Amino acid sequence: MTVHEQFAEDLALYALGTLQGDERVALEKHVEECANCRLELQQLRGDMALMALAAAGPTPPRRARQRLMDALAREPRLPVAVQTRSPRRSWWGSLGWVAAAAALIFALMLRRENASLRQDVGAMRSLLSQQTLELAEAHDIVATLRASDAMRVTLVATKAAPQPQGKAIYVRDRSSLIFLASNFPNLPPQKAYELWLIPTSGAPIPAGVFKPDARGSAMVINPPLPAGVEAKTFAITVEPEQGSTSPTMPIVMMGVGG
């Protein structure tokens, strides 16, 4: 056995920090004089550092792990009769420590992956919740448009060209209302149109404020309305942007039919 082979099994134990006593002193003295052992020790330490850093990354460096395990497997097996060094535990006795360290690194990696998965699941649940709300709203809109018992009122003006027009679709049992406006003229700053539900009895009820776009189009979808109000018709006035609690005269548009 060469001197280098004699100290080969101690290098991994030394790198792991488990080599103690006279054997540690002897190895340190040998490493000072042996360039090959110094290089191998540096490689072992580097491989262990890469394995530790792998806990913060996506996958452990397989090449570094394999080099470290290969070093552990190179223990010389000498007959008992020719062993001249003091009896001590072999490298294979340290494999339990290495396995524990590898298990700890693997557990840290799993913990990091689990945290990432929990964040992804939370984001997906939030997205699903938002999509569920949007789907429910779309379902309500379609149900209102297709309801056989819906009251349909067309609002028109007779003194403008092209003629502004509004279509109100109201379902009393669900208190749902969809209003579509077209060809509406622009308003002065800080002014807006306000839709009113005119009940069969009682005061007009605010049913949404809107401003037309560049093409004169606008929509009001399911404004807050009292439950079960029977509508006689609908009307539109010009109000402040924040809306009013009662109509400001004159009424610019009024429903003409059902």
Could you give the angle at the alpha carbon of 257 between the alpha carbons of 251 and 258, nearest 5°? 125
Tell me which residue has tokens 């700053």. 189
Q: Which of 50-54, 87-91, 142-146, 158-162 has the highest mean pLDDT?
A: 142-146
CA distances from 47 to 7, 35, 39, 53, 76 (A): 19, 18, 12, 10, 22
Closest CA to 144 of 116, 119, 169: 169
Please check whether residue 224 is in contact with residue 175, taking contact to mean a CB–CB distance below 8 angstroms: no
What are the tens digits of pLDDT across the range 110-143? 766 777 788 888 888 888 888 888 888 888 888 8
CATH, domain range 151-255: 2.60.40
Per-domain residue ranges of the chain: 3-112, 151-255
Percent of the chain with pLDDT over 90: 34
Other Cβ atoms closer than 10 A to 58: 9
The closest alpha carbon to 53, from 5, 108, 12, belongs to 108
CB 165 within 8 A of CB 156: yes
Average pLDDT, rounded, for the chain: 78
Q: Looking at the predicted structure, is the pLDDT value of residue 68 above 70?
A: no
Half-sphere exposure of 104 (CA within 13 A, CB side): 9
Q: What percent of the chain has pLDDT over 70?
A: 67
Answer whether residue 239 shows pLDDT above 80. yes
pLDDT confidence band for 150 (50 / 70 / 90):
confident
| Residue 234 or 75, more confident | 234
